[in-house]
Structure 1
Amino acid sequence: MPITERELVAELRRVVPPGSIEFREPTNVGDERPTARLPDGSHIPIDLRWAGRGFPRDVAAALDRRPQVDDEPTETHLIVGAHAISDGSRQLLDRVGASWFALDGSASIHLGTVWIERSASHPAPEPPREPGWSPARAEIAEVLLESVANGIAWDDERPRVADVETIARLAGRSLGSVANALAGFDSSGWTVPGPEPRSRAVADPAGLLDSWAGWEANRRRRWDSFHVLDRDPVRIEQHLRDVFGRTLILTGAAVSERVRPTLTGARTIAAYVDADWDTIAASADEVRMLPAATGRVRLSVAPAQVSHTSRVVDDRRVASAVRVYADLLGGSEREREAAELYRDAELAMFA
């Protein structure tokens, strides 16, 4: 949930005892930061940052965020706010010497000679409900997320949401479905109005990716497995390219291992094919790829959004980075571990 600096200051005031610290918002044009006025009359500029739900990944992203002010005063004190701050996040903030507070009333704030330690006094308010996922909404989100991964942004650097017509074409969905999905993303705080009329920007890329990829990883999608005699992933991949040509779209470990090798030994080759099931079966039968419950090759018909967002890398047609990440999350335990390393390498904009 995006939260403004004004709202952060208001929440911060609620967790400090009366008479201890007075927080002031910028009032003059030249004022760059809110300030904290201490009982001794001194003032300390504060850098307020929002960390979403307060998990370590959220806090790490908040800490990595660039200050909005170029000439940051050396005495500026960092304060991180979140829905709730987990134990792991508290340790992370303690290590960097940052103060923090949460919407459940808990806080650890140390400014000058003032130290405030508070436990939670009430449950944190529930974050906005995520829209119920459906195949249509997931396919639309995939197109939107891939545009974020490609760095398409407004002049203010916020990720840009493509127009409804473009999203509908890439996702293979109707204009009405896209409009409904975007309205749901708005209500969840993932997207917000953009700088131009009827435009949108992505406000919470990481939150949208986490929710979408989690749903996709648990989604029941048909994959047909095949047995092949070879055990070498590189040779198997080349064999598949010889059989299916440019209709083959590699995903999962077949892509991530070229970016961040982590898997040793034999592994499954997963790919989408721009063809129907009968064509896939006939092509596999011609080269004696035998159907198997747990074969080394897994193939699926390419949905419209997977086909339209695929790319060619090193003469191999591969799925979009967000699709590769989601497919890794839906794989084995080793592939789920590889997913996070792949995300760090290829999807750093979603940190």
Structure 2
Amino acid sequence: MDRPRILCVSFSDIRSDARVLRQLEVLARHGEVTTLSYGDRPDSASDHLSIPADLPSLPQTLFGVVRLALRRFASVAMEAPAVKAARDLLLGREFDIVVANEARALPLAFEVAGSPKVWCDLHEWAPAERTHVLSWRLLVAPFMTWVCAQYLPRVDAATTVNTSIAQMYEQQFGVHCDIVRNAVAYRPDLRPTPPGECIRLVHSGGAVPGRNLEAIIDAVDLLGDGYTLDLYLVQSRQAESYWKQLVARIASSPRTRLHAAVTPEELPATLNPHDLGVYALPPHTPNHRLMLPNKFFDFVQARLGFVFGPSVETDRLIMENGLGVIATGYKASDLADAIRGLTAEQIKGFKSATDAVALRLSSEADVLMEEQILSRLTAAEA
């Protein structure tokens, strides 16, 4: 019997998209996988269709912006330059299952030939992805709300990152979402490293405006001698000028070092020698307020202590499991105050606590959920 033909759509470079990479490993066990994304073919894919990197995945043309402003969403659902290129790449191809990563991929998913089953993996709350940006709030947020209302009730499966966001999808769009967190694979080979005389802070993730990286850099400078900060950052395709500013800011800090990004698989071992994983994202959007990001789970597998800004989902996990401290706010002074009061013995205790929950907070439960979804979808195709 032929294996199901699975199309995985993601308007990202999948090779640097940790969530989709983990998803692909499961997809490959259930069928022949073709990826459709920016960049080159990921290792787990049998075939790959590459979208030119300079094409935006939203209707940002003059025609598109006018139509968004007039709320003529149906006329622009397939008009984003990257979506049009993707549709051309799919000509003559049929699939049994389409995995649409994020809501913006849904209009394309429902045009794929072969009457496929559609699974939408909603990485976050789609209508508020970038509502801290005025143009997004005025033009794109209403469009994304329309996409969700138009397409989500028609999907065969839906997933999202945590219970808080799943409840929002059910309340507003009537779709049940299973939970697939951003957890990473369990690393039994890693153990907590003892804190030294110099406390090593670390942060990993995307170098994107609004992530408050400057506050972390300023915090380590406020702390002074006895503290260092290492940054493992992924440069954004769309934020080159910000990257240059950030590199200059890092160069001016005597205690901060910038490192090349490492692969998601390498990240826990790379972070492991450090002491405290630091993150403080101000709640500019519902996604920020309800975040449960990749880096949280990277820090767990790296056996780090936590210093995070306040956030509903991360607060709960940190406090329930004794993983670290929650700063009173998001400013550099808030982070510095939270870190300054920690003793080496407390940091050692936080790292031991992450070691104790590393298996429970690994990707095992998430992989099981994805396996169940794929088993159901492939059975429906049989």
Normalised to the residue count of structure 2, the TM-score between the two structures is 0.28
Q: Which has the larger radius of gyration?
A: 1
Ranked by relative contact order (alpha carbons within 8 Å, sequence separation 6 or more), the top structure is 2
Normalised to the residue count of structure 1, the TM-score between the two structures is 0.29
